[in-house]
Amino acid sequence: MESKILSDISTLEFLQKINLESVFLAIAAMLFTGLVSFALTPFARVLGFKIGAVDIPDNKRHFHRRPTPRCGGVAIFTAFFLGVLIFYRPLTMETIGLLLGTFCIMLLGLWDDTVQLKPLVKLLGQLFCAGIPIVCGITIDSFTIFGHQITLSPVVSVLVTLFWIVFLTNAVNLIDGLDGLACGVSAVSSVSLLICSLICAQLTGERSMPMIVAILASACIGFLPSNMSPAKIFMGDSGALSLGFVLSTLSVIGLFKIDAVYSFFIPFIIFALPLFDTAHSFIRRILHRQSPFAADRKHIHHRLLDFGFKQQEVVIFLLSFSSILGISAILFSLGKYVSALIIAATAIILLGLMFIIFRHKKVGEFLQIQREESVEDSKEESVKEEKKQED
């Protein structure tokens, strides 16, 4: 049979196929990338102040207390770029297209962080960047759904790939609204994508993607300590656009083309949180006769804040939600479809129940009081820290 089912791969057989040399190389690549990302973050912070890429608090959509640089994507991209160049071999046209496209979209994001580009200019720039990996051969030529392989014509293949890369790139950018959220979700998605790609590599023979995904996950993890609340630096569009771009492109290389029964659903499960939030935001704005690119304060993380949760609580909850969906995607990759659906459905039901319960007025008021108290406590702590620094 040409079509193999992932569930036929036993755990023992999977472990036997792992090359120990490749494992050690991957660990070295992850350590190197994570440390470089961590080390470069302070320099990116200084760069942000130098070029004027600074986010000013406004108590509406920006909840930090002090002006904060927003070009952390420079550190993430540099670490990722060096990690791939040093540890990944051979450098294929697909890899070159991925790196070149990521570099271009990082520059586009950095430009936007500095001068605030118009949405149309930004979209045209994203389309250009997405075209680079497509020209280098990264396209969704076919995918398998319910056991049937669907082959796309060259024109449709290019259009579908272009839409997927641009949409997921913007999806990651739009959830970058709280300290550590977008970077954390990207790290979780990268780990899920890494495990799925290792499993799927047994079918496709595609050995390149796991290494690149591991490097990406490490670049995110190295940046997270400086990005968690209270953040010393933000990723900015240079980081969020870069991460979304790499994740979307890698998913095209390693997941859409798998000849498995339900391979089509795996990337949608992994990226369900940013995809749903973006689709919901676009539809809501269009229905209200607004530009789909108009900024507002009605994303999932904003709603949870309005219920009275603290910033850290919202981030932890959404990262947990994304992790649960990642586990579901891994089970899908292993062919455990029923278990995967149960876990995914449980996560979605819990999120829905949370919105229903905490929309209740009394619960919301109670949480709001708690939030105000925590804000006052944090203000007192920051004042004490400032006095200590002055002394």
Question: Which pLDDT belongs to residue 84?
Answer: 94
Report the distance separating Cα 44 and Cα 221, nearest Å: 16
Report the distance separating Cα 182 and Cα 269, nearest Å: 17
Residue 116 lies in a domain: yes
Mean pLDDT of 149-158: 86
Domain total in the chain: 1
Reported as a pLDDT band with limits 50, 70 and 90, residue 45 is: very high
Question: Which pLDDT belongs to residue 60?
Answer: 58
* Model confidence at 2: pLDDT above 60: no
Residue 322 lies in a domain: yes
pLDDT, tens digit, for every residue of 216-260? 999 999 999 988 878 889 998 999 999 999 999 998 887 666 555
* Model confidence at 331: pLDDT above 70: yes
Residue 390 lies in a domain: no
Per cent of the chain over pLDDT 90 is 35
* Model confidence at 262: pLDDT above 80: no
The mean of the pLDDT values for the chain is: 81
Mean pLDDT of 52-59: 76
pLDDT top residue among 374 and 298: 298
Question: Which pLDDT belongs to residue 149?
Answer: 75
76-80, 89-93, 207-211, 369-373: least confident range: 369-373
DSSP string, 197-255: HHHHHHHH---HHHHHHHHHHHHHHHHHHHHSSSPSS--HHHHHHHHHHHHHHHHHHHT
Mean pLDDT of 60-88: 85
| DSSP H stretches of helix in the chain | 11-16, 20-51, 73-87, 93-115, 119-135, 154-174, 181-204, 208-227, 236-254, 266-270, 272-287, 300-306, 311-333, 337-358, 361-390
* Model confidence at 390: pLDDT above 50: yes
Question: Which pLDDT belongs to residue 367?
Answer: 56
Residue 230 lies in a domain: yes
Say which residues have a Cβ less than 8 Å from residue 212's Cβ, sequence separation at least 6: 84, 88, 95, 98, 250
In the chain, the N- to C-terminal Cα span, in Å, equals 75
Distances (CA, A) of 262 to 6, 194, 231, 245, 346: 10, 18, 39, 24, 20
Mean pLDDT of 343-357: 80
Residue 3 lies in a domain: no
Mean pLDDT of 86-113: 92
pLDDT, tens digit, for every residue of 30-40? 999 999 999 99
Mean pLDDT of 347-355: 79
Residue 59 lies in a domain: yes
Residue 137 lies in a domain: yes
* Model confidence at 3: pLDDT above 80: no
Mean pLDDT of 176-186: 88
Domain that includes residue 263, residue range: 9-380
97 and 137 Cβ atoms separated by less than 8 Å:
yes
Name the CA dihedral angle for 249, 253, 256, 262, rounded to a multiple of 10 degrees. -120
Residue 385 lies in a domain: no
Say which residues have a Cβ less than 8 Å from residue 126's Cβ, sequence separation at least 6: 105, 108, 166, 169, 170, 241
Distances (CA, A) of 275 to 102, 173, 192: 20, 11, 16
pLDDT, tens digit, for every residue of 115-126? 888 889 999 999
Record the pTM. Answer: 0.83
